[in-house]
A and B are shown apart, each in its own frame.
Chain A
Amino acid sequence: MAIAAQNNGLGGGRPGEGAGIANLLFVIPALTLYALFVLWPLASSLYYSLTDWDGIGAPRWVGLANFTRAFADDIHLASYVHVTLYILGTLVFEVSFGLVMAVMLNSDRPGFALLRGLFFSPVVLSMSAAGVLWNFVFDYRTGLVNAMLKGIGLGDWAQPWLSQPATALICVMLVSGWKFAGLYMILFFAALRRIPRSLYEAATLEGAGPIRRFFSITLPLLKQNVLICGLLAVTGGFAGFDLFFTMTNGQPYNSTEVPVTWIVKMAFDSDQLGYGIALTVILTVVVSLISLLYLRFAERSHAVEY
């Protein structure tokens, strides 16, 4: 990720303006806010993570004990497996689905704009409202899904969707897809609009059908967007909390436990703030490492140009 690298022109040390200390004034408001509410808690996390602390008494120094515990905590470890599965799911249900819909709804004919607007609309909904709503949809006894199955004579297929490990995580992924596919659709749609129409015309003249055009023009030209959306999905996935909190809260049998739900449980439900903070430190390291690797990969493939 390149920084504002070219510093010719105005950046290049203008005559008569000294070292540009005054220019710092432009950055200071943002920096203050950022330092107070992002950097400082991040730094203090490092301290608290080395203590045993219930949030009430004084923190007691325990060295690396919290980290030892974290790596022996089977639910904590499993939560990373779950979040990985969830991220893979979001790549399918959010990113890929959004891409397909972007292509399908890419038309100037009347009606398509309305479809795009409707398709995007769940993005505007709050996650908590979405979670509450979908709980009612998936409810075993009275939910919409099972009621529909019964309605079409498939009552035997009715499942306790959110209560069995085999389906609970998938349900969360589906809702996640429902909620966010629209966002990716719009991002891809915008990118599609930037592809010169002449490329498609040239390909059509060469005899390429719609599917071939998609794979040999659309997809390669959207590579950069796909990679950026992928990064959004990955970092967003690790931060995922709202849907899990409102839909399953980690259950059944911790099969939908993700790092954040487990952290909140440990810190606040179980009054172990020190341990919870240690888990946040681990989460931070994991996410940063993955993001950096991802960016390195993306940079190497020359797809992400900043």
Chain B
Amino acid sequence: MRSNTEAPGTPRDWLQFGLGAVVVAGMCFPALWMIYSSFKTNREIFRTPYALPGTWHWENLTKAWNEGGLGVLYVNSILVTAASVILCAGFATLAAYAFARLEFPGRRVLYRIFLIGLLLPPPAVAIALFTQLRDMGLLNTLWALIFANAAWSLSITLYLMSGYFRTLKREMEEAARLEGADTFRVFWYVILPMVKPAIITTAILNTINIWNELMFALLFISDDASRTLPAGIVRFSGFHSTNYALVFAALTITTVPIMILYFVSQRHVIRGLTAARAD
């Protein structure tokens, strides 16, 4: 850890902070611009693009919410993300434990097969998957996205998890085994509590990915009732591309809550990401 013992506020520290702040401010401006522009009228946006709104038009938000059917999009996104993340975390943790610790026929081959998915880009199967989901009757259902997203998150989750398993000392499991725990109980009582940090980490990564997933959502869902946010926003901005204020309002509605959520749980998100290897 750095610096707690150093004298605060040397010129170099201020320079470092200042430079960082300038870069970060530059990065954040477009998002801020989007937020306050969503309270302007369309004319204002064109005439004075970066001024604050003359009067704050809160009705833009309700209008965007209603016209975009954003409520449905939100619910769908939450359902898809939650279900995929849980499905993937559960399956991947079980499998990672087996690959890291247990002996069974085909272990090495299966692990390699799972790792292929690490390198594959999802578009590689998008079209074939589309026809397959159609034959399964899953198109236009949230299940299409849940299964596809969960399956496509498996490889990376499995990879990270089994790496994490390998950092765990075997003695805990051996001790439990000597106490009479069978494989499943070792997993449940000893392994699962110990890998909780890794599960949270991978779940956070998967949540971000799946929440933002666009391509599957565009291809597999054509029904308004099961569309998710990213696809919904693209569609909405297409319809209303002439109305900046309304599009910004919709973008604000859809992004600000997730940003707030992020900032509330930020410590955890970052701790999760940074804990990827150790403890």
A24 interface residue, CB < 8 Å from B?
A: yes
- Distance A189 CA – B1 CA, assembled complex (angstroms): 12
Is B147 within 8 A of A186, CB to CB?
no
- Expressed in whole angstroms, the Cα–Cα distance for A152 and B112 within the complex equals 57
- Asked if A166 CB lies within 8 Å of chain B CBs, one says no
Residue B258 is within 8 A (CB to CB) of chain A in the complex: yes
Task: Find A30's partner among B91, B123, B152 (CB 8 Å cutoff).
Answer: B91
Residues of B within 8 A of A186 (CB): 270, 273-274
* B187 / chain A contacts, CB cutoff of 8 Å: 26
Whether the Cβ atoms of B262 and A124 lie closer than 8 Å is yes
Cross-interface CB contact of B91 among A29, A115, A187, A246, cutoff 8 Å = A29
Does any Cβ of B come within 8 Å of A34's Cβ?
yes
Query: In the complex, what residues of B have CB within 8 A of residue A120's CB?
Result: 266, 269-270
The CA of A134 and the CA of B30, in the complex, are separated in Å by 8
Contacts of A119 in B (CB 8 A): 23-24, 27
A263 to chain B, nearest CB (A): 6
Judge whether A44 and B132 touch: CB under 8 Å: yes
Q: For B276, what are the chain A residues with a Cβ–Cβ distance below 8 Å?
A: 187, 190
Once the chains bind, are B21 and A115 in contact (CB under 8 Å)?
A: yes
Task: Verify B103–A34 contact, CB threshold 8 A.
Answer: no
Contact with A along B8-40 (1 / 0, CB 8 A): 100001001101110110011011011000000
Chain B residues, CB < 8 A from A144 = 30, 33, 49-50
A280 within 8 Å of B by Cβ? yes
Q: Which residues of A contact B226 (CB under 8 A)?
A: none
Residue from A39, A112, A187, A283 in contact with B123 in the complex, judged by beta carbons closer than 8 Å: A283
Which residues of chain A come closer than 8 Å to B278, judged between CB atoms?
Answer: 194
Contacts of A287 in B (CB 8 A): 119-121, 124
Contact across chains for A288 and B263 when beta carbons are under 8 A apart: no
Stretch at the interface among B61-69, B192-200, B230-238: B230-238
Contacts of B1 in A (CB 8 A): 108, 193, 197
- In the complex where A1-B115, A45-B125, A283-B123 touch, is A125 in contact with B174 (Cβ < 8 A)? no
Residues in A whose Cβ lies below 8 Å from that of B185:
none
Contact B147 A36 (CB under 8 A): yes
Contacts of B2 in A (CB 8 A): 106-108, 197
Cα A178 to Cα B278 with chains together (Å): 28
A197–B1 CA distance with the chains assembled, in angstroms: 7
CB of A41 closer than 8 Å to a CB of B: yes
Size class of the contact patch on chain B: 35 or more
Cα-based distance from A120 to B166 in the complex (angstroms)? 29
Q: Most chain-A CB neighbours within 10 Å: which of B19, B49, B94? A: B49
Residue of A nearest to B215 (CB): A241
With A and B bound together, what is the CA distance between A3 and B102 in angstroms?
Answer: 13
Type the 1/0 row for A1-32, where 1 means its CB is closer than 8 Å to any CB of B.
10110010111111001011111101101110
A105 at the interface (CB under 8 A from B): yes
Q: Which of B151, B247, B262 lies in contact with A33, CB distance below 8 A?
A: B151
> In the complex, which residues of chain A have a beta carbon less than 8 angstroms from the beta carbon of B30?
133-134, 137, 144, 178
Which residue in chain A gives the minimum CB-CB distance to B149?
Answer: A37
What is the 8 Å Cβ interface bit string for chain A, positions 96-116, against chain B (1 contact, 0 not)?
Answer: 000001001111110110011
Most B C-beta atoms less than 10 A away, residue of A33, A39, A104, A134? A33
Measured CB to CB, the residues of A under 8 A from B are 1, 3-4, 7, 9-14, 17, 19-24, 26-27, 29-31, 33-34, 36-42, 44-45, 48, 55, 101, 104-109, 111-112, 115-129, 131-134, 136-137, 142-144, 147-148, 151, 178, 186-187, 189-190, 193-194, 197, 235, 238-239, 241-242, 245-246, 259-260, 263-264, 267-268, 273, 276-277, 280-281, 283-284, 287-288, 291-292, 306
Known: A10-B103, A128-B231, A137-B33. 8 other contacts (CB 8 A): A4-B99, A34-B113, A37-B147, A48-B131, A118-B27, A127-B214, A187-B276, A273-B131
